[in-house]
Structure 1
Amino acid sequence: MQFGRLLTAMVTPFDNKGNIDFGKTDQLINHLLLNGTEGIVITGTTGESPTLSNEEKLSFIRYVVQYVNGRIPVIAGTGSNNTRASIILTKQAETIGVDGVMLVTPYYNKPSQEGMFQHFSAIAKETTLPIMLYNIPGRSVVGMTTDIIVRLANNFDNIVAIKEASGDLDAMTAIIHDTDDSFQLYSGDDSLTLPILSIGGTGVISASSHIIGREMQDMITSHINGHPAQAAAIHQQILPLMKALFMAPNPTAIKEALALIGLNVGSVRLPLIALSEEQREELAKTIACSKKAQVS
């Protein structure tokens, strides 16, 4: 399964009462499609999955799959620190018709490496869907070692990709080297997209692509087409905005930035809170500077 090179980890739109806003979901998907997104990951942490009930997740997954209607791959975040619950949600997502699932490393429990191997193995055995692992030790406390990732990739045909947010380029190089050429490694850090492409990575699962999707697509295309200087120039241009979009816990600034460019997808749910006025002004200024740089 080829998911594409630029996938967006999509926010979940909320209305002014904090409920899922399906009308704004249509607008958001259309916006992403027009701005370079080749696939979307929904009900992940950028989608505020910790604050979505299972019923909300299933309703949202069902709605998005129907609206996208096969135009791009839809990957659902169905992983958690509860193996049995992850299996159930994965099976339900498969029934709905998603193109793949993303499984995060079990957070809070702090399982051993063998425990993580068995966790992912148990889920993989219960679905025929393509699986993307998600290694993000900064949020989950535990991270998978290279050996465990390679072992999973080489033992299960349906474990086809990983979103790597460890920041460890040496480990990522080893993963790429020691897995089949069909195994896809995606950057989980927007600012590391170009470095990861340079070591043989596939692309990025991005939050910034909500705002600078076209620019990120141009950077990736420039690199793939053998224009490293052009890719580097784009990277340098968009890096300040990438950093600004993570000035607060994700997806707080992403949602505010969408509102600033005319697509209001609501605020975040507690325990996250909206940006302060000072942060909002800083973000607006950075977006304006970014647009000015693109024109010049």
Structure 2
Amino acid sequence: MTDFGRLVTAMVTPFDERLEVNWEQLPALVDYLIDVQKSESLVVCGTTGESPTLTDEERKRMVESVVRLAKGRAKVIAGASNNDTLHSVQLTLEAEAAGADGVLIVAPYYNRPSQAGIYEHYKAIAKATKLPIMMYNIPSRCGIDVEVDTTIRLANEFENIVASKEAHGDLDHITSLVAKAPSHLKIYCGDDSLTLPYLSVGAHGVVSVASHVVGSQIRSMVNAYAEGDPVKARRLHHELFPLFRGMFFCPNRVPNPAPVKHALNLKGIQVGGLRLPMLAVNEAEGQFIEELLSHL
């Protein structure tokens, strides 16, 4: 049974001054996330990695490079999402050829298919690959919700659907999903500030953005809860909560990954700027993030 661990980092893509992928900086970023921030798996070329603005060739090379650099210290989950099912299948097969340990597949965005259409989308991908699949349900970005029964139907029919990343605040949904899930299906929180509430109703872990800067603390929080110490987990949650919220709701609600890229640059992990239509933080937003980090 595939286990991606309890702390998965949705990794940024480092860019240079020309906003080309900074291949020279990539080894330092991978080592930092695994050795310092204690990530057990890395999602490469997900939304935090600015996948919408990466070419297919860049995505393939990113996966190949991170697999090589991780050296088995962490699993590599390739973002292979697209709202064109055949394109998502193609990206999945390329990730498999590149040596990925799994793929992350978001629900088809913008075209807003029915639950039957969502089912067929994941079915086509699951039948095309032997790789473990992590589904990704984020209604606020996709415009659709992958309903509990759809996820459970897919997990029951396809053993390589092993996880679902859920990024929403509907704890009734998560409770029902955990209760109905087959033993091989792990539920992950996709919103840092909701990690502890998710764990309390049976989630396995978190796919985190804040883990770029406080990964070791997040892993301690998740492990504390799993090991039967909710008091320690709650204390860590409260300590980290201002950062969790601030990284996503800093002034003007700056969208991910601009805040975390700025935080990494402040810490000396040079990951550069962002490709349009995403923008770097402005001066006031940057000062807000710097103050957040100073209180850790």
Taking structure 2 as the reference length, what is the TM-score of the superposition?
Answer: 0.96
> In terms of mean alpha carbon deviation, does 63-72 or 193-202 score higher?
63-72
**Aligned twin of 2:266:** 260
Determine the C-alpha separation between the residues in 2 that align with 1:147 and 1:225. 30
SS of the residue aligned with 2:72? coil
CA displacement, residues 213-254 of structure 1 (integer Å, 9 cap, x when unaligned): 011011112111211111101100111011111131100000
Residues 31, 70 of structure 2: 8 Å contact kept: no
**Aligned twin of 2:235:** 233
Letter in 1 for 2:22: D
1:181 Cα deviation from its structure 2 partner: 2.0
> In terms of mean alpha carbon deviation, does 84-93 or 63-72 score higher?
63-72
Letter in 1 for 2:185: F
**Aligned twin of 2:15:** 14
Residues 143, 166 of structure 1: 8 Å contact kept: no
**Aligned twin of 1:279:** 285
1:153 to 148, 155, 158: 155
**Aligned twin of 1:83:** 85
**Aligned twin of 1:118:** 120
1:169 Cα deviation from its structure 2 partner: 0.9
Letter in 1 for 2:221: M
Number of aligned positions between the proteins: 290
Letter in 2 for 1:257: A
Residues 159, 184 of structure 2: 8 Å contact kept: no
Residue segments in structure 1 that go unaligned for 5+ positions in a row = 291-296
**Aligned twin of 2:171:** 169
Taking structure 1 as the reference length, what is the TM-score of the superposition?
Answer: 0.96
Determine the C-alpha separation between the residues in 2 that align with 1:283 and 1:72. 28
Q: How does 1:127-142 map to 2 (within 5 A)?
A: 127-142=129-144
**Aligned twin of 1:72:** 74
Residues 252, 273 of structure 1: 8 Å contact kept: yes
- How much is the aligned-residue C-alpha RMSD, in angstroms? 0.8
Determine the C-alpha separation between the residues in 2 that align with 1:89 and 1:162. 19
1:173 Cα deviation from its structure 2 partner: 1.0
Residue segments in structure 2 that go unaligned for 5+ positions in a row = none
SS of the residue aligned with 2:240? helix
Residues 74, 98 of structure 1: 8 Å contact kept: yes
Residues 192, 206 of structure 2: 8 Å contact kept: yes
